[in-house]
Amino acid sequence: MAKILSVDDSPVMRQMVKATLLDAGHEVSQAPNGEEGLKIAASQPFDMVITDVNMPIMDGLTLIRNLRQLPAYVSVPMIALTTEATADVKRTGRDAGATAWVVKPFSPQRLIDAVAQLLK
């Protein structure tokens, strides 16, 4: 079981991610934007971060960049879960420190598989 932080401005998407990960046996904390996600992540360790890219207050790529500056998150897997699928956006995500990219809408199994692969 991993401790995972899910960050998304959509309450429905947060609930879908949480339900999927709980069913797979993980512990899930949530935040509605990158700023809140950063505060939560700085206050406790997580084994993985899953974040939307486009959010108000602080977007997901800025969140990833900020987390990568914290010693505890240098090597923590980070998944960008987003509707953005262009090569340019994915390249920007990799440059920011995203470990993987999952496109919305996602199948629960696709997310579970990505999480399992990254937590090996």
CATH fold of 3-118: Rossmann fold (3.40.50)
Place of tokens 């401790």: 3
- Is the backbone of residue 47 left (phi > 0), alpha (psi -120 to 50) or beta? alpha
Provide the residue-wise pLDDT of the chain in tens; the chain has 120 residues. Answer: 999 999 999 999 999 999 999 999 999 999 999 999 999 999 999 999 999 999 999 999 999 999 999 999 999 999 999 888 888 888 999 999 999 999 998 899 999 999 999 998
pLDDT of residue 105: 87
pLDDT of residue 89: 86
Please name the helix (run of DSSP H) or strand (run of DSSP E) that holds residue 90, with its range, or none: helix 87-96
